[in-house]
Chain A
Amino acid sequence: MLIKENIALSENGFVFNPSTGDSFTMNNTGKEVIMMIKEGKDLNRITELMAEKYDVDRNTLERYLADFLNDLNVYNLLEEEK
């Protein structure tokens, strides 16, 4: 799972896709997750780190992380799995 190389990420949570011209904004948790993906962390590790930091049960967390990754896919921000 990798963010496409050409995608620009700002620390403030703005995302720009130069190939489509689309820009996006994220909430804090979205920003954290995308930064972790960019750092190369896998889904298990991200889930672990988020569970340590936030008051959320494992099922809910996994469900909404999957949802978020689906959003990233829909918006064409992730490298296609090979």
Chain B
Amino acid sequence: MSKQLFERPTITRLTPGVPSKHGAASVIAPMPLIDGVKVDDLIDQFGSPLYIFSEREMRKSMEEIKRAFSVRYHKTQMAWSYKTNYLDSICRIFHQEGSWAEVVSGFEYDKAIKNGVKGENIIFNGPGKSASDLEKAARNGSFIHIDHMDELFLLSDICNSKEIEARVALRVNMDIGINPRWDRFGLNYENGEAWDAINRIMINPRLKLMGLHTHIGTYMMSTDSYRIAATKLADLAYNISVKFEYYIAYIDLGGGFASRNTLKGAYLSGEDTTPSFDEYAEAITSALINSRIRPDKLPTLILETGRAIIDNAGYLAGTVIANKRLSDGKRATIIDIGVNILFTAFWYDHKIHPVNSHSGLVEETAIFGPLCMNIDVVRSSLMFPALKRGDRIVITKTGAYNITQSQQFINLRPAIVLIGINRQVHVIRQAEILDDIVKNELIPDYLA
């Protein structure tokens, strides 16, 4: 007779009548499979921890967002936000789905070109473009989104001295009824700076104003903010058409749609509170359609959505290293996933699932990473089953920002695999080795 699965014995004190801060008990379902592939097999083959991406989820999210906008508005163009996740394989999936590239540095720009994106399909954002970045983007016909007046003058000088032209858009920031106000990027709508810059661009023969851009914030839960932003950009576009008899080609509403993760401190789960793509689409497209812009001159709507279409597709699998009891009696479980590879642990209360089934009984637990640093807290408190050393876990919705913001710190970074549409597993970045870290170091002769 085969032996039964062992769960470490637990006893939990009940506090009847007083709901804990975790509210009603929730079921933590095991997650033995991702896209039909066994997590245990993936860890056995590629090691622990392990980043796992689902191509199926990515394409599904793209389909959903494209459908939500295209049924409401005739011209929508997605642009993949490189900083959200610039693994080449991930970018190429989104490019295959029709996304342009939205980049914020010369490094990201070169990556997009390497991924086969044509220069005229690259949107170049960001406050830190160098003179050589600007010249390259202008020569390639990319859309340069001007962030500040200094950049406008620099680009104008480059175009004059090199006798080239540039296709530009203006990044605009504005009051959309939320705090804190995102006014550090772009030029302000209310104080007239944006209109001033538009006039300067319009009279500059070497700069062609293609569009207007705003990025109102990150993890925006309010669709009304997008409605206000779209209305204000449409007003600017209308004013341009009146003054210059010129119609811009696009309005770019940036990114910032919330994913279904739960923000730290949020009372309700992100699963319940995050607006759907349809709700965002309704707010934005109705503002454009109802604007004063002539219907036959309505601009293309560009979206730079990153987080909301990649977060769900990313998983981080790992292993329990140890359990201990803290001074206040609370359980602590140490896992091999640290905040250096799960940066979003600082923002979200990530959902963590055991890979294999458990009795269903949960106890209040803190989840710590393996780093010898006090900040390495993956969850400070959650109701969690009694896992033991060697048991495996999966953290869900980790696809956005965790690769691009991960740090090599104390430990080497793990491998990244992609589960393809046909459930074949592909390594898309190998696990780091010591040589990756030290190969650029130089040792002075006297220390050699």
- Seen from chain A, the residues whose Cβ lies within 8 Å of a Cβ on chain B are 15, 22-30, 32-34, 50, 52-56, 60-61, 63-65, 67-68, 70-72, 74-75, 77
| Contact between chains at A60 and B11 (CB < 8 Å) | no
Task: List, in ascending order, chain B residues with CB within 8 A of A72's CB.
Answer: 11
Asked if B386 contacts A27 (CB within 8 A), the reply is yes
Q: Is the CB of A60 within 8 A of B325?
A: no
Kindly state whether residue B9 has any CB partner on chain A within 8 Å.
Answer: yes
The complex places the Cα of A52 from the Cα of B107 at a distance, in Å, of 59
Q: Are B9 and A65 in contact (CB under 8 A)?
A: yes
Task: Determine the main DSSP class of A at the interface with B.
Answer: helix
Whether B361 lies near A25 (C-beta < 8 A) is yes
Residue of B nearest to A31 (CB): B9
Query: Contact: A30 with B325, CB < 8 Å?
Result: no
Partner of B8, one of A15, A34, A68: A68
B332, chain A: closest CB distance, angstroms:
12
Residues in A neighbouring B325, C-beta threshold 8 A: 67, 70-71, 74
**A53 contacts which chain B residues (CB < 8 A)?**
3-4
Q: Do A26 and B361 touch (CB < 8 A)?
A: yes
Is the Cβ of B14 less than 8 Å from the Cβ of A55?
A: no
| Cα distance A65–B340 in the bound complex, in angstroms | 33
The bracket for how many chain B residues form the interface is 20 to 34
Q: In B8-39, which residues have CB < 8 Å from any A CB?
A: 8-14, 16
Instruction: Say yes or no for B63: interface residue by CB 8 A criterion.
Output: no
- Knowing A27-B359, A27-B386, the reply to whether A64 touches B9 (Cβ < 8 A) is yes
Kindly state the separation between the CA atoms of A63 and B323 in the bound complex, as whole angstroms.
10
Contact check, A56 vs B6: say whether CB atoms are below 8 A apart. yes
Q: Which residue of A26, A32, A54, A56 is within 8 Å of B11 (Cβ)?
A: A26
A60 close to B5 (CB less than 8 A): no
Can you list 5 A-B pairs with a CB-CB distance of less than 8 A?
A30-B10, A32-B9, A60-B388, A70-B325, A74-B329
Expressed in whole angstroms, the Cα–Cα distance for A70 and B10 within the complex equals 11
Chain B residues in 8 Å Cβ range of A75: 11, 13
The digit string for B368-397, where 1 denotes a CB below 8 A from any CB of A, is 000000000000000000101110000000
A42 to chain B, nearest CB (A): 16
- Not counting A26-B361, A55-B3, A60-B389, a sample of 8 additional A-B residue pairs whose C-beta atoms are within 8 angstroms of each other reads A23-B14, A24-B14, A27-B359, A29-B7, A30-B11, A67-B325, A68-B8, A71-B10
CB distance B4 to A54 under 8 Å?
yes
- A24: chain B residues within 8 A (beta carbon): 11-14
| Closest B residue to A55 using CB positions | B3
